[in-house]
Structure 1
């Protein structure tokens, strides 16, 4: 009995030591920061603030309880004049920008961060296409890295279902179950590769009052399925044209169903009021993970689908005078 108890105590002690070794912290050094400067950690995946720390004598420290690792975060100051993306791991990490630009700080204690730094070193002068090929090659050669899942979740819609499915299958179970893995799975499960000439695909989403509606309940007239967001400058500019088109063609049987990719209800609501969007407005606050955007393959906004009275998609990304001309034909 005594031996068994000693064994349990020993095991508990070892576990405690291991837990202490595995506790996350981030100790940092800055260069010419004023005392009292506040630095923030934000989850890059959902945009939520994780923690903040105050700089004193060009040093700061985070001792933050985080439930999942690795996690990609943004470290930044209030004015956003200094910022840096970092892969955090459940270790004691260090951040040293005492002799460098904040964005080029030396970071230790995270294998994921080291791998990310190696991937993106000397890429500043590469074109988007060259950098994209570099990332694609990384995904192909590093199926066991969370960074591959992050990259694939970002570019799955660009690279297509074939490439995405092939390389998602190679990920180990823990990475498939990560939030990035779930995003890739959602894309593979929901994306319908919808094209002009196809019938619409139904989905359900909540309106400004929180009431769920199906797209099928809103069709029957010539309908523009419009994807936008309050934070999207070109979308807000296009809203002015849509307001005029809606005014001209609504009496003739034209409707707009607007799906927002916002994540802030107040900003969404304010934009609807300010832009005078009197048509049906919907949002689930999932941004690019909005089910409707996944189904319709929307990976840039503004984007839209023009659907006729019979539910057939007759145009995509149609705007301005081209839209007005088409509406004149369809609503004679």
Structure 2
């Protein structure tokens, strides 16, 4: 099969890998229809974070090609959403709802595991991992939103849930990438009354407003903190969503949080520190981390299919496997918010 291969910093190519085969009776083989490039993939591309040489890509939807003998909930031909991590659904962590930290799981597209930027993926623990999409004849817009559920929508939702967003809240979203924009969707979905999005990019500003942001600020750092405190009467926001992972974004999120608020942090950390003085003396909490996407997908899927949310709008660049190099470059150069990769033919009638 053809698949995207990581050869080191700045080295993204398309090559051949062995076709995946069922290894256990609980496996399924998924023929990928749509994949994405994730912001975290760019950290590897830049050489900032390590990544094993070989397959890459952890966001995809596709069609079941083969199912092992023990797979009972899925059959060939089913359209499925794959969370970015696979899980057994039975370990202590999964039982507690933390499927992204499964004791027997792992992530797609690393350490030899098939990636979503390739034609086929072997999915371990298929019944526990994959989510079947009901119905048929889904529009292209819905299909894009389905692939957004594999990571960024769930991760933005995790930031909002971790921060305890509730009806009537004022929320600040630090970060205007795909996760931050999905955080705006999530905050709106959970009932926030005022949503302040921090963004300097006109395209992303417009999308944030479409998703429900009531205020868009171009300021950063201390200037952003000062302005948000003024906007909230010196109190701060009820919940802060940290969707970047840098030192400045973490400081901003804690700087705008009101006494007793929680920062929901989902950005991959890079030189970021938790300000313990703020935690202790302002009673500001910190929650977040790897999103338990498999737990969130079913409820978010219902909203996508009903047209209540449309996270696929963050996918503003499209290519096929032959254009994967520019898919990475477009995001690195901020020509794209998020790159969609059309890998294979869609399920009959779906596209």
Task: Give TM-score scaled by structure 2 length.
Answer: 0.25
Instruction: Indicate the structure with greater helix content.
Output: 1
Structure number, greater radius of gyration: 1
Say which structure, 1 or 2, has more relative contact order (CA 8 Å, 6+ apart): 2
Task: Give TM-score scaled by structure 1 length.
Answer: 0.26
